[in-house]
Amino acid sequence: MKNACLQLDRKAFTLIELLIVLSILLLILSILPPMIQTVATGLQTGSTSPRELTVFFSHLSDEVRESSFIDLRPGKLILHKADGDRITIELYSSTKIRRTVNGAGHVLMLEGVKTFYCDNEDILIQCEVIMQDGLTYRKSLIPLYKSR
C-alpha cells in the first residue's frame, strides 16, 4: 500500500506552466506567417508604384481641367482657379512633388521624383515626370481655358 500513494515531492509541469507555454507558442506561431511573407516578397519601399503615378496624374488632370488660367514655369505649374485660389504644383526638396494652395499648406503628391516638367504644346499641356529609378512618365492634359 505504501507504493500505491503518490509522492508529492516530484517536480513536474503544472497546469499554469502548460498554459503559459501554450500561449507563448501561439503568439510565436501567429507572428511567423507575416514575417515569412515579408521576407519572401521583400518590403518595397522607395519605389513608386504605377498606381501612385496614375493617382498623381489623375489629380493633376482634375486640377488643370478646373483652372481658369495656367502659368507654366520650370519645375512648377501654377493654376489659377475661378474662385481666386492659386494652386501651385512644384518639385519640392528635389525628390517630391507637392501641392500648395495660395502659398499655404503642403500636400505631398508624389515621392522619388528626379525631375518634373510641364510644357505648352498647342492646346495641350504636356507634363513629364522622371523618377529617380530612371523611368519617365508623360501625360497630355487638356485645360478648359488658355494657358500662358
Answer whether residue 119 is part of any domain: yes
Answer whether residue 116 is part of any domain: yes
* C-alpha cell of residue 4: 500505491
Radius of gyration for the alpha carbons in the chain, expressed in angstroms and rounded: 30
pLDDT of the residue at 133: 85
pLDDT of the residue at 135: 87
Answer whether residue 147 is part of any domain: no
Over residues 111-130, the mean pLDDT reads: 89
Answer whether residue 146 is part of any domain: no
Concatenate the DSSP letters of all residues of the chain into one string. Answer: -GGGSPPTT-----HHHHHHHHHHHHHHHHHHHHHHHHHHH----SPPPHHHHHHHHHHHHHHHHTEEEEEEETTEEEEEETTS-EEEEEEETTTEEEEEETTEEEEEEEESEEEEEEEEETTEEEEEEEETTS-EEEEEE--SS-B-
Answer whether residue 6 is part of any domain: no
The verdict on 110 and 89 lying in the same domain is: yes
Would the pLDDT of 146 be above 70? no
Answer whether residue 29 is part of any domain: yes
pLDDT of the residue at 10: 66
The verdict on 27 and 100 lying in the same domain is: no
- The dihedral through the CA atoms of 101, 121, 129, 76 has a sign that is negative
* Highest-pLDDT range among 3-12, 15-24, 49-58, 131-140: 15-24
Answer whether residue 5 is part of any domain: no
Residue 31 main-chain phi, psi, to 5 deg: -85, -25
Would the pLDDT of 44 be above 80? no
Would the pLDDT of 3 be above 60? no
Mean pLDDT of the chain: 85
User: Structurally, how many domains does the chain consist of?
Assistant: 2
The verdict on 92 and 111 lying in the same domain is: yes
More confidently predicted of 147 and 127? 127
CA 129/CA 115 separation, integer angstroms:
6
The verdict on 35 and 65 lying in the same domain is: no
The verdict on 73 and 27 lying in the same domain is: no
Residue 107 main-chain phi, psi, to 5 deg: -115, 115
pLDDT of the residue at 47: 66
Host domain of residue 32: 12-39
Position 97 confidence tier, pLDDT thresholds 50, 70, 90? very high
pLDDT tens per residue, range 46-93 = 566 778 888 999 999 999 998 988 888 888 999 999 899 999 999 988
Over residues 21-31, the mean pLDDT reads: 94
Answer whether residue 74 is part of any domain: yes
